[in-house]
Chain A
Amino acid sequence: MSMLHTVNKSPFERDSLASCLRLAVNGSAVLLIEDGIYGAMSGTENSAMVKESMEGISFYVLGPDLKARGISEDRVIDGIKVVDYKGFVDLVAEHDSSQAWL
């Protein structure tokens, strides 16, 4: 079983990302969308938490949501892949199940 986790809340405002990373098993994927994209940024108080999880979990961030918020792709932590809406659909199709951390 391989699960896709989506997180749409800012890690500075809610603990959605922290809870997700605590409970996501190795081999699963995390896609950061909407205000969740702030969790993909390097150089923040939450970057270390994300980097630690990257060993076992693949990370993605939705490009259009980065762009909307003025966060350029070069601010994204190395190793997190930027995907578009089509990539979002592909991720859902590739995984057995998905969980939205609202």
Chain B
Amino acid sequence: MSDVKKFLYVNRKAPYGTIYAWESLEVVLIGAAFDQDVSLAFIGDGVYQIAKGQDTTELGIKNFSPTYSALGDYDINKIYVEKESMEARGLTVDDLMKLTWEDEDEDWAEKDSIQVLPAKELAEIMDQQDIVLSF
């Protein structure tokens, strides 16, 4: 189908301190209904958005982090995390939520959605997009 475009959502802000993270997630989920080729990138403080173990009970605000786990069900399974951003923040992939998708072509095998990439490789991916939305 020729009208499928490559969309990349770039997430650069920490969750909760501002509304960007949540707004981005909502736009991603709305966009998922349009059968486009969607990828997500988490760079800078954006990597904190997918930190595991978030618990906002004492803040009295919604913990939207479980929603990231639903992305696989919307065929969003290309989630890129910039390696340099993680390292600067002392984080490893073990500090992130496990986000997976099920591969229809391989008998619904569960696969990791998250790929940690150095900036150089992420730059190539960014360059190949039709539309980049930055939050």
Contact = CB atoms under 8 A, between A and B. Distances in A.
B98 interface: no
A70 B55 contact: yes
B63 A68 contact: yes
B30 interface: no
Given A43-B90, A64-B58, A72 B53 contact: yes
A34 B44 contact: no
B17 A35 contact: yes
A84 B58 CA distance: 10
A12 interface: yes
B14 A35 contact: yes
A12 B65 contact: no
A52 interface: no
Contacts of A71: 51
Contacts of B57: 67
Interface residues of A, number: 26
B52 interface: yes
Interface string B65-103: 100000000000000000000001110000100000000
A21 B53 CA distance: 30
B54 A70 contact: yes
Interface residues of B, number: 25
Contact of A44 (B16, B18, B53, B89): B89
Nearest to B61: A68
Interface in A33-66: 34-35, 38, 41-45, 47, 63-65
A89 to B, nearest CB: 15
Contacts of B61: 68
Nearest to A64: B58
Nearest to A13: B45
A13 B58 CA distance: 25
18 contacts: A10-B45, A13-B45, A35-B17, A42-B90, A43-B90, A64-B59, A65-B59, A68-B54, A68-B56, A68-B58, A68-B61, A69-B14, A69-B15, A70-B54, A71-B51, A75-B90, A84-B58, A85-B58
